[in-house]
Amino acid sequence: MVKSDIISATKANRLYWLGRYEMRVYLTLHQLNKCCDEMIDGSPEAYHAVWAKLDALGNYKTNDEFTLGMLYDEDNPSSVISAQKYAMDNAILLREDIMSETLSYLEMSVALMKRCKEADEKALATLQPIIDWSLAFWGSAEQRIQNHRALNIMMIGRNIENLDILIRFGYPYRRIALAYESLKRYCENKTEILDENISRQLDELITEEKFNLDDMDYKFKLIKYINQLVRV
């Protein structure tokens, strides 16, 4: 039986942040993999740039401390384990909506993160299953969530997190424009949760003529507006 499409404000908030946090896990691991490759290739200070772009907390003095901190520091809200636990917390409360099969991928990820934390595991290849399970989580969500509005809100969160990271890491215009178009498709007819004024501002800013992530004022304005677009 298909459940009612009506979604409370509290549930909308949980769905949105589940989407954001699970995407944050995936993207942070992706960026850490790239950073570790650079450090191995002879750029031991590469982590400083990643640290700054993620606005990460923590006091990490070496690349090993940075790697362990960004993976397992639960006092750092930007760490992978923090994002995974936040996603799990929301998913547990949404079990009836996302179904146990979907939740199980997060449960496996949290369990693996805990084991790796206990072992001070720095080899990111050991965490590859978390990337795979994240992709499986989204595939399961699309198959099993019967309330299309609920899935749509999760996808809005996922796309906003993706766009935020792409801007922070200075991806080219074409990549960001495509990500923004994807976000807008999920936002169609969702005026009840969108700030329409900010939406218009983003439409004006994300154009090939104005695009310039070397301009820090422009870049910070984009990040601010992206994170204020949804009202949940």
Instruction: Give the pLDDT of the chain (232 residues) as one tens digit per residue.
Output: 445 578 999 999 999 999 999 999 999 999 888 877 776 666 666 677 777 787 666 678 887 888 898 999 998 888 999 999 999 999 999 999 999 999 999 999 999 999 999 999 988 899 999 999 999 999 999 999 999 999 999 999 999 999 999 999 999 999 999 999 999 999 987 778 899 999 999 999 999 999 999 999 999 999 999 999 998 8
Is residue 125 a contact partner of residue 36, using CB atoms and an 8 Å limit?
no
Residue 3 within any structural domain of the chain:
no
Q: With residue 37 as reference, give the H or E element that holds it.
A: helix 9-40
Give the CATH number of the domain where residue 76 resides: 1.20.1630
Residue 132 within any structural domain of the chain:
yes
Residue 2 within any structural domain of the chain:
no
Residue 151 within any structural domain of the chain:
yes
Residue with tokens 């954001």: 20
Q: Give the range of the structural domain holding residue 34, as residue numbers without chain letter.
A: 9-228
Residue 1 within any structural domain of the chain:
no
Which residues contact residue 133 at a Cβ distance below 8 angstroms, ignoring those fewer than 6 apart?
105, 106, 108, 109
pTM of the complete model: 0.92
Residue with tokens 């942040």: 17
C-alpha distances (whole Å) from 181 to each of 95, 174, 219 are 30, 11, 18
Residue 73 within any structural domain of the chain:
yes
Residue 190 within any structural domain of the chain:
yes
Q: Where are the alpha helices (DSSP H) in 41-195?
A: 47-53, 63-72, 80-93, 95-98, 100-118, 128-144, 148-168, 173-187
Residue 4 within any structural domain of the chain:
no
Count of domains observed in the chain: 1
